[in-house]
Amino acid sequence: MTRLYRRTLLTGAALPLFAINTRPARAADFSLKLANNSPVTHPQSVRQQEAADRIKKATNGAVDIQVFPNNQLGSDTDMLSQLRSGAIDFFTLSGLILSTLVPAASINGIGFAFKDYDTVWKAMDGKLGTYVRSEIDKRGLTAMDKMWDNGFRQITSSTHPIKVPADLKGFKIRVPVSPLWTSMFQALGASPISINFAEVYSALQTKIAEGQENPLSLIQIAKLYEVQKYVSMTSHMWDGFWMLANKRTFATLPADAQAIVARELNKSALDERADIAKLNGSVADDLKAKGLTFVEVDKPAFRQALKSAGFYADWKKKYGDEAWGILEAEVGTLS
Ligand code: X2X
């Protein structure tokens, strides 16, 4: 937050924002920054700008959120530090990367946990989401109720098609900076390299990494098809973004402003989910037309490889019985 709340300073207590909302348009009381790692054309960036516009209007200009998409303020790792220090006020981050601060936040990324979107949203809008948000809250961040969709992740490669788990042996695959991602691809026999998304295109282009994994929508929007040849439809995990706020800063907003901000960010999250669902209907044809070769795989074989490597047993121990029990109640038995 770059400016203090003047009325708070004058009176010593926060007045409701609308006590004086008949005033003419004026400089914002709160100038806030919202950042993400997604291209400007990604539905995430588009819907966040719409939320910022609605918030400004609904608060009569008092809350002015500036959106910085596309890693403009740094890599995910940098932005998480800035969010914690208060240099950034809002930030959408994959739960898996957030797990470097909040270990429980990677739980939705457990390999092959979710079979479809209905199961994802029931869990993340329900008990699993509530559990993870309470863990996030303990670490000085506030997560809005509704997660934003990233998607089911697929493996791309510039060297050879990945058809069976053995094709991953020694495969130099870029993964986001997150212990769960590294552990999962090590369990599959690959050689994962942790790289922030800001560097992914160039890492693939220079062949520092042979492959990577991301949802089809992002492979398209970030133009990764330009530097990859094959995509294997593993859907090995579902990944989404938490809309995080710096808890101290968020608490300085008057209660009615907090409610407006949360309402509009959550509304935009639902709009973004619908955008991605729509994209999912057309993106495969588009990627094929752009030259990417699609590879169908035997998903249960990949899941079995994880199981044989002790992946599920290890992570059950790490998350603990309570969290694992909440996950299994949503998705069924995982071991
Ligand atoms: O870094 C990635 O691959 C991305 C964009 O999917 C995430 O934010 C996890």
d(CA 266, CA 100): 24
Say which amino acid occupies 214: N
Q: Are residues 230 and 316 in the same domain?
A: yes
Q: Are residues 31 and 96 in the same domain?
A: yes
Q: How far is the CA of 46 from the centre of ligand 1 (A)?
A: 17
Q: What is the mean pLDDT of the chain?
A: 94
Q: What is the pLDDT along the chain (335 residues), one digit of tens a residue?
A: 544 444 443 333 455 555 545 555 557 899 999 999 999 999 999 999 999 999 999 999 999 999 999 999 999 999 999 999 999 999 999 999 999 999 999 999 999 999 999 999 999 999 999 999 999 999 999 999 999 999 999 999 999 999 999 999 999 999 999 999 999 999 999 999 999 999 999 999 999 999 999 999 999 999 999 999 999 999 999 999 999 999 999 999 999 999 999 999 999 999 999 999 999 999 999 999 999 999 999 999 999 999 999 999 999 999 999 999 999 999 999 97
Q: How far is the CA of 291 from the centre of ligand 1 (A)?
A: 22
Q: Are residues 90 and 222 in the same domain?
A: no
CA dihedral 278, 284, 286, 289 (to 10 degrees): -170
Q: Are residues 250 and 161 in the same domain?
A: no
Q: Are residues 157 and 144 in the same domain?
A: no
Q: Are residues 46 and 86 in the same domain?
A: yes
Q: Are residues 233 and 85 in the same domain?
A: no
Residues in the ligand 1 pocket, defined by CB under 6 Å: 37, 94, 97, 150, 176, 197, 214, 218, 239
From residue 186, alpha-carbon distances to 29, 157, 174, 194, 233 in Å are 49, 17, 12, 12, 19
> Do strands 90-94 and 238-246 pair parallel, antiparallel, or not at all (unpaired)?
antiparallel
Q: Are residues 224 and 113 in the same domain?
A: no
Q: Which residue of 41, 197, 201 sits with most ligand 1 atoms within 8 Å of its CB, as the best mutation to test the pocket?
A: 197
Residue 250 has a pLDDT of 98
Ligand 1 atom with the smallest distance to the CA of 38 is 5
Helix ranges (H only) for 147-294 are: 179-187, 200-205, 216-221, 247-252, 255-289
**pLDDT, tens only, 56-76:** 999 999 999 999 999 999 999
| Among 37, 296, 278, CA closest to 154 | 296
> Using CA positions, which residue lies closest to atom 4 of ligand 1?
197
Q: How far is the CA of 162 from the centre of ligand 1 (A)?
A: 20
d(CA 45, CA 53): 13
Ligand 1 atom with the smallest distance to the CA of 241 is 8
Residue 3 has a pLDDT of 47
> Using CA positions, which residue lies closest to atom 8 of ligand 1?
94
How much is the pTM?
0.93
Q: How far is the CA of 16 from the centre of ligand 1 (A)?
A: 38
Q: How far is the CA of 65 from the centre of ligand 1 (A)?
A: 23
Q: How far is the CA of 98 from the centre of ligand 1 (A)?
A: 11
d(CA 108, CA 111): 9
Q: Are residues 230 and 104 in the same domain?
A: no
From residue 123, alpha-carbon distances to 147, 155, 177, 203, 272 in Å are 11, 24, 24, 34, 18
Domain count, the chain: 2
Q: Are residues 327 and 261 in the same domain?
A: no
Q: Are residues 199 and 286 in the same domain?
A: yes
Q: Are residues 108 and 29 in the same domain?
A: yes
> Using CA positions, which residue lies closest to atom 7 of ligand 1?
94
Ligand 1 atom with the smallest distance to the CA of 175 is 3
d(CA 205, CA 326): 41
**pLDDT, tens only, 159-184:** 999 999 999 999 999 999 999 999 99
CATH of the domain at 184: 3.40.190.170
Q: How far is the CA of 44 from the centre of ligand 1 (A)?
A: 12
Q: How far is the CA of 214 from the centre of ligand 1 (A)?
A: 7
| Domain containing residue 88 | 3-149+240-280
